[in-house]
Amino acid sequence: MSTDVCTFSVQDTEVNSICLRVFDLAGSLIFDAGWQAGRHVVWRGDTDDGVPLANGAYLYSLSVKQPDGEIVQLPTGAVFISR
């Protein structure tokens, strides 16, 4: 298991929970954190099965849930793994 971590956070205090999804460059989902209470989620650079990912670029998607239940999709970003 990898000891590398990446924390994704949002500053908006009106956020109840956050969801992180990570994709390979072909668009395949390789990690889904599900909904996490609070305004941040930690990712260890691995797949849903706990397998450390190879060095390279990956895309991520963050969604946040507001107190009224509205879900807001934030802009897609990229993360790079280099171990």
Domain that holds residue 71: 6-81
Question: Domain for residue 67, yes or no?
Answer: yes
- Could you read off the pLDDT tens digit of each residue along the chain, which spans 83 residues? 445 789 999 998 889 999 999 999 999 999 999 999 999 999 999 999 999 999 999 999 999 999 999 999 999 999 999 88
Question: Domain for residue 1, yes or no?
Answer: no
pLDDT tens digit string along 38-49? Answer: 999 999 999 999
Amino acid of residue 1:
M
Question: Domain for residue 29, yes or no?
Answer: yes
Counted domains in the chain: 1
Q: What is the pLDDT of residue 13?
A: 84
Global pTM reads 0.89
CATH number at residue 71: 2.60.40.4070
What's the full length of the chain, in residues? 83
d(CA 63, CA 80): 20
